[in-house]
Chain A
Amino acid sequence: MNAATAHEQTFTQWLNDHGAILRQLSRVHAPEPVDAEELYQEMMVQLWRSVPRFAEQAQASTWIYRVCLNTGLTWQRTTRRREARVVPQAESVEAAPSDEQDPADRQERGDLMAALMQAVRSLPPGQRSLIVLALDGLSYREIAEITGMTENNVGVALTRARQNLTEKMKGISHEL
């Protein structure tokens, strides 16, 4: 198998296995759908470019989180001016179709997700990255590996970030 084919295969597998991470992270960093799509494309390009540097000793998901979170942190700077013009709208999130068919349940879940997304976005970028990883269910060790922090520091910073998120959630829930 030549290098180009191996490159394509690795990328394809990453996208097929973990593509949803890119979608959700792009929505976290970019409130407007058009911006989220642009960021999603950017994350894909950076991921593609990162394939030759991927060392097998790292887990693919850890690598993908690193590339995408770094892209998100850098990308915000270039769009700040646009964000200043466009006031992010309170998001209406269509609840995911699932086993629960009750429209009231779906609406409730949609409202909760909209509030949560808004609260996460309003966190400072560093805390935002940490809280996203925690919400994804990653362990302290995995978060430490992605962020470069010690596990102890992850614990301390996450406690602060969780408190911050809870406060923001209270405020947003009252608004909704």
Chain B
Amino acid sequence: MSFDELQLAWQHDRAAETQPQADANVLRQVRSQSRAFTRQIFWRDVREVLASFLVAGVFGNIAREAQNEGATAWPAWVAAALPVAVGFYFLIDRWIMRRRAAPQGEDLRTELNRAAVEVKHQIWLLRNITWWYLAPLGLATVMLAVQITLYGPENFPLAGKIVIWAVILGTTGWVDRWIWNLNQKAVDTELLPRLAELESRQQELAG
């Protein structure tokens, strides 16, 4: 069968396709779905930075209390500042990526390139999560341990200080390792296959 005949059948099918009508119901539905999409993106960002700001709030409170009691508080302030820095880094990165995102309606190759750049950036973020997320938050917990053990009550027993250090460092190390593994797994099982898929589509459209 020739391509012309296939084309004819295809166009015949198109002509017979039920023509959708944009009535008030359709408009209401589309508007509501569009708003839901915007809300979903907003709350995803909020969720992701909320943890950092919550931790900062807790550490900041400890710093404030120490300061009110006249004790040295700088380690706790550092501990509070680091999660804030992580949160802001995350927000700025999101903002930059959103600005770079091509608007809908770009040609297919441009859109595929943009999607590939976005996936490569996500891979970079997750591969380097140690430096921009785990290390600052890890350092923050170490600072908290410093605050508690060096500037805590003078009669605090040494054994207690050792236990606090062990618990904080052990928990932090374990949680960091778990988060690191989770993110590397996401790169290997989701992002790298997605990148390969996009690159193969780019090649198909390269001519």
- A-side residues, CB < 8 A to B, are 8, 11-12, 15-16, 19-24, 41, 44-50, 53-54, 58, 63, 66-67, 69-70, 73-74, 77, 93, 96-98, 109, 112-113, 116, 124-127, 129-130, 134-137, 145-150, 152-154, 156-157, 162, 165-166, 169
Contact = CB atoms under 8 A, between A and B. Distances in A.
20 contacts: A16-B22, A20-B14, A41-B29, A44-B26, A45-B33, A70-B106, A73-B108, A77-B194, A116-B10, A124-B204, A129-B108, A136-B10, A136-B14, A145-B107, A147-B109, A148-B107, A148-B110, A157-B207, A162-B3, A165-B6
B1 interface: yes
A160 to B, nearest CB: 9
B16 A98 contact: yes
Nearest to A21: B14
B105 A63 contact: yes
Interface string B1-24: 101001101111111111111100
B105 to A, nearest CB: 5
Contacts of A23: 17-18, 20
Nearest to A120: B10
Interface residues of B, number: 47
Contacts of B111: 66, 70, 73
A149 B104 contact: no
Given A113-B13, A136-B11, A20 B6 contact: no
Contacts of B192: none
Contact of A49 (B9, B20, B104, B106): B104
Kindly name the residue among B31, B200, B202 whose own CB sees the greatest number of chain A CB atoms within 10 A. B31
A156 B203 CA distance: 13
Contacts of A146: 107-108
B90 to A, nearest CB: 23
Contacts, number: 154
Contacts of A54: 105
Given A16-B22, A49-B34, A135-B10, 12 more contacts: A22-B20, A41-B33, A46-B104, A48-B30, A54-B105, A63-B105, A66-B108, A66-B111, A70-B104, A109-B9, A126-B203, A135-B11
Given A136-B11, A137-B7, A137-B11, A125 B104 contact: no
Interface of B: 1, 3, 6-7, 9-22, 26-27, 29-31, 33-34, 37, 103-112, 115, 194, 197, 200-207
A49 B103 CA distance: 9
A44 B103 CA distance: 15
B12 A154 contact: no
Contacts of A165: 3, 6
Contacts of B15: 20, 96
Contacts of B197: 77
A126 B198 CA distance: 10
A112 B173 CA distance: 62
